[in-house]
Structure 1
C-alpha cells in the first residue's frame, strides 16, 4: 500500500493555519487553508524560516509533531532536515536533538547532537547519535545511556533496538542511578533488555564493587526494575549457630497469580541436616492471610536440651490473617503450633512467620465512640521449666513455685470480650459511657507459688467465668473565675461463675455463683491559674479529687486474673480506680491530691510537672487487704497516706526531650521506683538513655533492689556512614545484660551493615549468646546477609 503523503500543521508567529505539503515534479508548495493561494518553495531546498510546529501523519496514521528553529526539504533526495532545538512528539515518545534528518524513501530518521529520547515506559535515552525507523521500532544508537524511572542506569558504546522492542547494548554497564558515583556496577559484553518479557540478560558479566571485580557470571537473567513479582530464586542468606552449624537459606519464589504466591526455602545445615520452609501468601478483596510451615529431621538432636530433648523431628506451623468484614469491623487470627517449646527460638534464623507463644482469633469493631474486641486465646510456651531446687515448705524460702510444669498452668481463654460505648445522648447534661467485659478461661493446673513461706495463687485450676458491666457518668462546670468542677459517678457489677474451679484454695469462696457491685460518687476540682510573660506563659493548677463508695466485697474469696499488676505513679494518681482490671474494685472513701505546673514558651518548648499523693479517708483500704495473690502489698497505696508520686517532662523543641516518673516512700521519702528517659540530637549524634530503679519488694518475691541503665546512640560519621550501638547495664549486679555495636552505610544504590551483639538476658546459666551479623544490598539486583550465633 502506498504511504500517504504527510499532512503538516504549521504554527506561525501571530497566525495559525493548516497547510498541506504538495509534491510536484519540481516544487513543493504550501496550500493555505481557507484560500487558494500557493506559496511556492524552490526545488533547491529553500529554508522554511520561522517554523515553530509541524505535524505529520506516519504510516500508521498516528500524528507526529515536530518543533524546530529551521526546516528544509530536499525534493530530489526526498529528505527533510530540521535544525536548532528540534523536538519530536510521536505517540508517547519524545525526541530532542540539535539536528534531525528524515529520509522519506527509507522511512528512517536520524538525530544528532545531545540526543534525548523519552520512551512510553518512562525510560530516558541519552546518546551522541541515534538512527531509528519512523515508527521508532528499530535502529541504532551510539554512545548511549539509558535511565529508568526506577533509578537504574545502563551505559554502552553502541546499542541496537530490535523490531520486537528488545534493546541490545554492547560492552555495557548496569548500575543504580544516584546523585553521586555509584559504588557498584555490572559490566557485560552484552546486555539484552527484553521489554515485553520484562527481563535483563547479562552475557559475560562481572560484578564490580569500588571498581574491583567481586563475582563473575558467564550468563544470568534477572527481572527488569519494573517487575515487582516474578518467579525465580531469591538471593541466598547465610547463617551459623553453634548447635545447627553453617548453612545457607536458598529460597525459590513462585508468583502464581497477582493475588497469591508461594516461597519454598531450603536451609542445608552442616550439623543438623536440611531445614525446610514453605510460605503461602494471598490477598483477597477484603484482606490477606499467610501460612508458614517449617521443619527439620535433626542429624544431631543431642545438641539441644530442654523440652526438645533428643527429638529427631521438629516443626512449626504458623498462620495469620486479617479481613475487613464491614465498615470498622475486622476479623483476624494469628496462630502457632510447635512440636516443642524451643523450636522457634533454636531455628529463629529461618524467619518463621509471626510465630509467638500466643495464638488467637479476634473480632474488633471501632468507630468514633464505640469499641468492641473479642478474642479466643491459647498459649504454647517457649520458656523451659526450671525446677526449683529448694524446699517449698521452708518458711525462709524467698520464692518457690509449687508446681514446676509451666505449660499446664497456661489458660485457654474462651473468650475475652471488651465493649466500650460513649452514648451520644447526654444524661443530666453529662457524658454517659459503658465498659463491659466477659472473661471465660480454663486452666488445668493451679498456678501457685510460695513467697517467704506464704502461698500465693496467680491462677486457679478449673473454669472461671466473669461477666462485668460498668456505667460511668461525668459532667464539667466552669465558674466565672475559671474553677473547674467535675462531678462523676460510676457503678461496677461483676457476676462470677465458679462452679468448676478448685475450691481447695484457702479462703476461696465455695459458692458457684457470686455477684458483686460497687457504686461510687465523686467530685474533681481544678483551678488553673495562668500567668503570662514576654515569650510565654505558665499555668499552676491544683487538683483535688474525692471519691466515696462502700468497702470492696469478697476480697480474697475470688480469683484474680486481670488485676495482678498495680503500678501507682503520677499517670494513675487521678484514676477513679487504680486496679488494672475487673477482678478487683477499689473501695472506701479516697482523696487524690496533686499540683500540676506547666511552663510554655512561644517558640514551642515547655516544661510540665505533676506532684501528688492519695489518701484513704474512710472504709477498708482495698490495697492493704490481700487477695489470693496479694499483688497490692508493695503498691504504695497500702497505707492511709500513700507514697508520693511525681513526674517531669521537658521538651526543648530543638531535639532534646526528657521524661521522668518517680514514687517516694510516704514516711522517709526514700525512692521506691523511678523511670527516667532522655533523647536528643546533637549535630550528627542522636542518642537516648533510660534509667530504671525498683526498690526491693520482699512481699512480691523480689528480695533485692533492681537498677538498670539502657542507652543507644547513632553517629553519622560522614555522608551515608553511621556508627550505632546500644547497651543495657545492670547497676546492681554490675554487668552488661545486652550490648550491640555496628557500622552501617546507606545511599540510594547500596546499603550494608555489620554488627556484633551479646545477650545475657536468659539468666539460665548458659554461655553468653554472641551474634555476628553482616548485611548488604544492591538496589534493584538484591542482597544477602550472614548471621553467626555463638552460644546458641
Structure 2
C-alpha cells in the first residue's frame, strides 16, 4: 500500500538530522541518509509510527551521533510511503540540502526493510569541497560503507574529470571506476561530444583517498580520441595533492659532448616544511650526473641547497675548454630570513669545479648557481635604507690568448688567468637617510658608502702602447659620506627655483697596491672632500589647444665646486662606466660611483617639451648640453683607466644629448636617445627602441650605435639590432623568435625561433637557438629545446646542446 502526501504538505520541509560528513561517495551516503530521515520525520505519526527507529538503525551502522542542531532542507513534488514494502520515496524534482551538500534527482527511495538507499534519474551531488558528481543512478549498501553508481561523471575543483560506466566505493575511502576515463575540462565552446585533446582511458581506475593516489590499470594515453601510448600500469598523486613522494616525469637529453641520456627525478615530501629532490642523469658519453636539492621553510624564512656532479667518462670531449677534467660539479645554496618587519638577511652562494661547467651541462637545473655569490643584510623604513653585502665573482669566460708584448712584472697580460683579476668584495655598504623635519627650510638627506675589496692580480690592458688599469692588486677600502640639501621656490610667474648644496667626504685606505702603476700614490691613507652649491631653474610654459596641450620647459642648472683632487692617484673600481645622455644631463655628479667626484664649475642647459592629446597620445622630447665654466674638467683628466675621454664631456663644451618618445597609450611605444659630437654633430651614441601590441602580435625592436673609442680599446664603431616578436595564431597557437645582429661585422650574434601550444590541459613548446657571443673555444652554441606538459599528469622536456 502506498500513501501519497500532497506536495504542498512537504514543500520546503525542514527537519533535524545527523550524519557523518565526508568527501566523495561517503559524503553522499551521509547526505542521502539525512534526507530520508527528514522525510520520515516530516510524515505524521499516524502514517509512520517509527521514524526515530528508522533513523537510529542507519546512524548506528555509521557509528555517528545525532546532532539535533544540524539543519536539513528537502524539496520534492511528492512524498510517498509504501506500507507493504516499507519504503519511503521522494518523487519529482527532488532537492536535498544538508551540511553544505546538495543532492538533486528525479527520485530518492529508502528501503527500510533492506536498509538500502537509491537515487535515480539525473542524479547530481555537489559537495562543499567543490566536487560535482553526476550519475544515472546511485545505490548504497545496508551498512552505507559500500556503494555503486552507474553512468558516472565526477568533476573536481582542480578542473579534472572522471567518466566511467560504473563506480564502486569500498571501505569509505576507495573508489574503483570501471572502464573509466580521466581527463581535464574542455571548454564549453567545444562542440558537444567532441573528445578532449587528451585523456587516459583505463579498464580500471582506483582512487584511494587515504593514500591520495590514483592508479590506472590497463591504460592508454589518447590524443584526439586515438590511442597513442599503452600503459599497463601507472599511478599519480591525487590532483588535490601539492606535494607527494614519488617519481617525477623524466627529461631526455642529447648533446654532442654528453651523448644521449635522460634525467630521472625522484621527489621526497618528507615534511610540510622540507623536502628533497634526487635526480640521476645517465649519459652515454660522460657517465652518471647526480643531483640533489634540499629545501626547507622555517618560521622566519627559507633556504635551499643544490649539489650536482659527475666523474666524466670522456673528459677529452672538452679538450678546448676548462672542462677537460675527470670530476666536475657545483654546489649552490640560497636563503633569506626575516629579523623583524624591517630587517632581513640572506645569502646566494655557489661554487663550481670549473668555469665552463654550468654552460656545458646547462640542460640540468642547478638552482641559483651563477657567476656571482653574495651574503647580505638589509633594512628599510619609510625614510632610510641600509644594505650590506659581500661579493665573490667566478667568471665563465675562457682566458684570452697570451700577448707576450704585454708580459711585464707586477701585472698579468691580457690573456692570462682572468679569474685571478676578479676582486673579492668584503663588503660594500650603502646607507640612505632622509630627515623628517625640514632643515633651513629644505630637505636634508645623507648617503653613505663603504667599499672594501681585495684583488690578487692587477687587471691591466694595453691600448696603443699605453697601459690602462681596470683594477689594482692589493686591498682597497674607501668610506664615503655625502649630505644633500635642497629646497624649491615657485614665484608668481610659475618659475621654479631649486637651490641645492652638497658636501662629500672620502677616506681611502690603500694596502699592498701595485707600485708598477706609476700614477698611484704611495700613501696608505688618503682623505678627500668635495663641497658644492648650485641652483636649478625651470620655467614650464603651458599652451592649450583644441584636442590637447603642450608644455615648453627651459631648464638651466649651475653647480659651483672646487677641482677634483688626486685624479689618477687612487684606484677606480665603481666609477668606470660613464654614460652621458639625456637621462644624466642634469645629474649633479655624472660619475657612476663614489671613487670619482666631479669637480669644477659646470652648467647644464636644456629644453624639455611635451605634447599631450586628449586621446592620451603623448610625445616628449629633450635637447641640451653641458658646459665646463671654470676649474679642472674631471672628464678630461685621465685616471688609471682613462674611461672618460670618449664620454662626450671631455671638452669644455660637451656633446649634445637628446631624446624623443612617443606613447600611444594603446599598446605602442617608441623612444630614441642620441648624443651628437659638439664640433661636427656626428652621432657618437644612439639608440632607438620600439615595443607594441597589435591584435595577436607582440614585438620589440631596438637599434644601438656606439662610435669608436680607441682610448679604451674599442677601435671601431659598434652597431647592433635586437628584436623579438610573438604571434598568437587562432586561440592556442603561438610562434616566437628573437635576433641580435651585428651590423658592423655582418654577423648574427644570437637568434632563436620557436612555437608553442597552450590550452586548459595541454602545453607544448619547441625552441631552437644559436649563440656566437661566448668566448669558450667554440664558434656556435646551439640549443634545441622541447617541452611537453599535461596538466595534473606532469610535464617533461627534451634538449640538445650542440657545439661547432
Cα deviation for residue 114 of structure 1 reads 1.8
1:439 to 440, 451, 459: 451
Tell me, yes or no, if the aligned pair for 2:403 and 2:415 is still in contact at 8 Å: no
Measured against aligned partners, the alpha-carbon deviations of 1:137-177 in whole angstroms (never above 9, x if no partner) come to 43111111110111100101111122322111100000111
Question: Which 5+ residue runs of structure 2 have no aligned equivalent?
Answer: 18-36, 49-53
Matched, 1:188 2:196: no
Task: Summarize deviations over 1:86-109 as a string: whole Å, max 9, x none.
Answer: 111333432111222222333332
Q: Does 1:595 align with 2:603?
A: no
Q: 1:609 aligns with which of 621, 626, 649?
A: 621
Say which SS state the counterpart of residue 462 (structure 2) adopts. Answer: strand
Aligned to 1:651: 663
Tell me by how many angstroms 1:499 deviates. Answer: 3.4
Match of 1:536 among 545, 548, 551: 548
- Root-mean-square deviation over aligned CA pairs: 2.6
Asked whether the equivalents of residues 397 and 774 of structure 2 are also in contact (C-alpha less than 8 Å), the reply is: no
Q: Following the alignment from structure 1 to structure 2, what is the Cα–Cα distance between the partners of residues 69 and 246?
A: 68
Q: Is the 8 A contact 1:143 1:158 kept in 2?
A: yes
Further displaced range: 402-411 or 639-648: 402-411
Query: Distance in 2 between the 1:248 and 1:756 partners?
Result: 20
Q: Normalising to structure 1: TM-score of the pair?
A: 0.92
**2:238 equivalent to 1:230:** no
Q: For structure 1, which segment, 189-198 or 383-392, has the greater mean C-alpha deviation from structure 2 after superposition?
A: 383-392
Q: Offset at 1:563?
A: 0.2
Contact (CA 8 Å) 1:414, 1:441: kept in 2 or not? yes
Please state which structure has a larger fraction of its residues in helix: 2
Q: Distance in 1 between matches of 2:38 and 2:276?
A: 66
The verdict on how the C-alpha distance between 1:82 and 1:39 changes in structure 2, with shifts beyond 3 A counting, is closer
Question: Does structure 2 conserve the Cα–Cα contact (< 8 Å) formed by 1:306 and 1:384?
Answer: no
Change (3 A) 1:464 1:19: closer
Residue of structure 1 equivalent to 2:644 = 632
Contact 2:455–2:475 under 8 Å retained in 1: yes
Partner residue, 1:291: 305
Q: Which runs of 5+ in 1 are unaligned?
A: 1-7, 21-27, 44-54, 395-399
Measured at CA, do residues 664 and 42 of structure 1 come closer, stay the same or move farther in structure 2, by a change above 3 Å?
Answer: same
Q: 1:669 to 1:169 in 2, by over 3 A?
A: same
| Aligned pairs (5 A) from 1:566-577 | 566-577=578-589
Aligned counterparts, 1:229-628, within 5 A: 229-306=243-320, 308=322, 310-389=324-403, 391-392=405-406, 401-402=413-414, 404-628=416-640
- Assess if the C-alpha contact under 8 Å between 1:156 and 1:169 holds in 2: yes
Deviations, residues 413-445 of structure 1 (Å, cap 9, x unaligned): 111101011111210111111110111111111
Question: In the alignment, what sits opposite 2:715?
Answer: 703
Other structure's SS at 1:350 match? coil
TM-score, length-scaled by structure 2: 0.90
1:392 and 1:453 in contact (8 A); partners too: no
| Residues 158-199 of structure 1, C-alpha deviations (whole Å, 9 max, x = no match) | 111223221111000001113145211111001111112111
Secondary structure at the residue paired with 1:641? coil
Q: How many residues align?
A: 758
Cα 1:56–1:547 shift into 2, 3 Å: farther
Q: Does 1:155 align with 2:163?
A: yes
Q: Distance in 1 between matches of 2:13 and 2:416?
A: 94
Which residue of structure 2 aligns with residue 754 of structure 1? 766
Structure 2 CA distance, aligned partners of 1:128 and 1:590? 87
Counterpart position of 1:103: 111
CA separation of 1:149/1:39 partners in 2, compared to 1, >3 Å: closer, same or farther? closer
SS of the counterpart of 1:498?
Answer: strand
- Displacement of 1:84 in angstroms is 2.5
Contact residue 539 and residue 597 of structure 1 kept, 8 A? yes
Quote the Cα distance in structure 2 between the aligned partners of 1:515 and 1:521.
21
Structure 2: how far apart are the matches of 1:96 and 1:107? 21
**Cα offset for 1:539?**
1.2
User: Residue by residue, what CA displacement relative to the aligned partner does 1:237-293 show, whole Å, maximum 9, x if unpaired?
Assistant: 011111111110001111111100111111000001011111111111111111111
Which whole-Å CA distance do the structure 2 matches of 1:427 and 1:435 have between them? 16
Picking from 136, 141, 144, the partner of 1:128 is: 136
CA contact (8 A) 1:243 1:304 kept: yes
Provide the residue aligned with 1:49 in structure 2: none
* TM superposition shift of 1:213: 2.0
1:143 aligns with 2:157: no
Q: Shift of the alpha carbon at 1:308? A: 2.8
Instruction: For residue 764 of structure 1, report the CA deviation from its aligned partner.
Output: 5.4
Q: For residues 392 and 263 of structure 1, do their structure 2 counterparts lie closer, same or farther at Cα, with a shift above 3 Å needed? A: same
1:514-569: per-residue Cα shift (whole Å, max 9, x none)? 10000000100111111222332211111111000000000001000000000000
Q: Secondary structure at the match of 1:662?
A: strand
Greater share of strand residues, 1 or 2? 1
Q: Secondary structure at the match of 2:440?
A: coil
Within-5 A mapping of 1:204-215: 204-215=218-229
3-state SS of the aligned residue for 2:511? coil
Confirm or deny that 1:87 pairs with 2:95. Answer: yes
> In 2 relative to 1, CA 230–774 (structure 1 residues): closer, same or farther, beyond 3 Å?
same
SS in structure 1 opposite 2:520? coil
